Structure 1
Amino acid sequence: MEGIIDKKQQKFICGYNEMDITTFLIQFYNECGRDYPWRNERTPFKVYLSEVLLQRTRADQVEPVFRYLATRYPDVKTLYHGFEEVKHAIQSLGRSCRLHYFKAGLEYLLDNYSGEIPSDRQKLMAVPGIGDYIAAAIRIFGFGIPDVIVDTNAVRFFCRFYGLQSTPETRRRKSFIELVTRHVSVSNCVEYSYGLLDFAARFCQPVRPLCDICALKFQCKNGNIIKKYN
């Protein structure tokens, strides 16, 4: 077993009272949620910055870079005008390809919204470098607007729970997105979404998931006949 289940997490192993997924994930986050600086004093800008940095990069690597940039450059305008220095900090994380789209995105926000970040999904999707996931993250974590996160964590968790076959196209299928959307909490969208990410990372891991001790094991269809969701 990877890692050690701490006292707070012990109540989420086998024997925990059955409840719907949404309530379960909200409670998991409230009691066991991971603590990162971008989860404190959330603003649309800080969420945008953190999501760009977190692309295919571990949170522990991102944390010191985020702290430095968020403190030194508190908004889109200052970050854009200090981008040469910003570039060197981001390059320390690898994936330099994100720099081009990030700078273009900052410039687009300055030109079109005076450096403010819009809450409308379609307007966010028009910003260079912002796709479905970052748009949803900004809306949920930056504005508190219910939206649906469909990333590798969500695909892995829901495909296992419902016994569905996961393919590269799963996250883009309308039927799968509708399935995931049904579980989104309108009143607690932030806690629910963080709970989904954290539970998937801690228990429903990509390799060697902790199925034997998972509180959802009797509801989860993982291990049954896998069916393709159309």
Structure 2
Amino acid sequence: MNNPDKIRNLRRLLQKWGESNIINYPWRYNENPYFVLVSEFMLHRTQVKQVIPIYSEFVKAYPTLKKLANAPDNQIKKILSPLGLQWRITSMVKALKELWRRYKEIPTDFEQLIETPGIGNYIAGATICFSLNQKQTLVDTNTVRVSARIAGLSLEGEARRKAEVISIIEKFCDPIEPRKYYYSMIDLAHSLCLPKTPVCSKCPLLSIPCKFGSQIPELG
């Protein structure tokens, strides 16, 4: 979909839906990049409902990067242990302490973030986008599924690595309100645009039309 008017309409419809459907998780609409980065580490391969209590306990114990940097690793990991994935916990603690060593803060420069071991493109981009409301190309399971379905692109294989999928995610993103745009898209993916049983009849984007939804017989 390359029509600028249709893309603007997509952004408008998605964010209008988001106004009453975005879930206000404790890390959302937070302009502190430390809290955003912590939440993105925790959310990696972990369900939101599992993250909420651990995130709340973690930021209460370590409200600043400085306090975390001065804490023993085993003490930090004890709070994080219910998340599972020990390698992820170790990587998170090492990355946060390395950022303190290098910058004494969480940088909001993409290159500075991704050159830190343990921080990849998505976590770096999400930290910047969600703390600064700055446009980034966020490629994850949710943005890939929704964007590819709208554009009629294949989700077969490693869709998130396909140049055409990455390009459409970048093209669709609202440059004015990227944070609200992505929050809306992520929550749409969790509630309606599901992997196996999408609820297309309730999708706010069906009128664009979404090429995936319009192919379903009872809706097309």
Give the TM-score normalised by the residue count of structure 2: 0.87
Displaced runs of 4 or more, over 6 A:
none
Indicate conservation of the 8 Å contact 1:102/1:128, yes or no.
no
The alpha-carbon deviation at position 223 of structure 1 amounts to 6.0
Give the Cα separation in 2 of the matches to 1:40 and 1:163.
31
Alpha-carbon displacement from aligned partner over 1:135-157 (angstroms, at most 9, x marks no partner): 11101111221112110001111
Alpha-carbon displacement from aligned partner over 1:33-82 (angstroms, at most 9, x marks no partner): 10210014331000010011111111111111111111120122212332
* Pair 1:170 & 2:170 matched: no
* Pair 1:191 & 2:180 matched: yes
* Pair 1:135 & 2:124 matched: yes
Indicate conservation of the 8 Å contact 1:163/1:224, yes or no.
no
| Among candidates 73, 81, 91, match of residue 91 of structure 1 | 81
* More RCO (CA 8 Å, sep 6+): 1
* Pair 1:151 & 2:140 matched: yes
Aligned residues: 207
* Pair 1:181 & 2:174 matched: no
After TM superposition, list the pairs within 5 Å mapping 1:61-80 onto structure 2. Answer: 61-80=50-69
* Pair 1:220 & 2:210 matched: yes
* Pair 1:59 & 2:48 matched: yes
Secondary structure of 2:129's counterpart equals helix
Alignment-mate amino acid for residue 77 of structure 2 = K
The CA RMSD over aligned residues, in Å, is 1.9
Alignment-mate amino acid for residue 104 of structure 1 = K
Seq. identity, %: 32
Alignment-mate amino acid for residue 90 of structure 1 = L
Alpha-carbon displacement from aligned partner over 1:81-132 (angstroms, at most 9, x marks no partner): 3232220111111111112211221222122102x11111111111121111
Secondary structure of 2:212's counterpart equals coil
Alpha-carbon displacement from aligned partner over 1:154-188 (angstroms, at most 9, x marks no partner): 11112211221113432223332221111111221
Structure 1 alignment gaps of length 5 or more: 1-18, 226-230
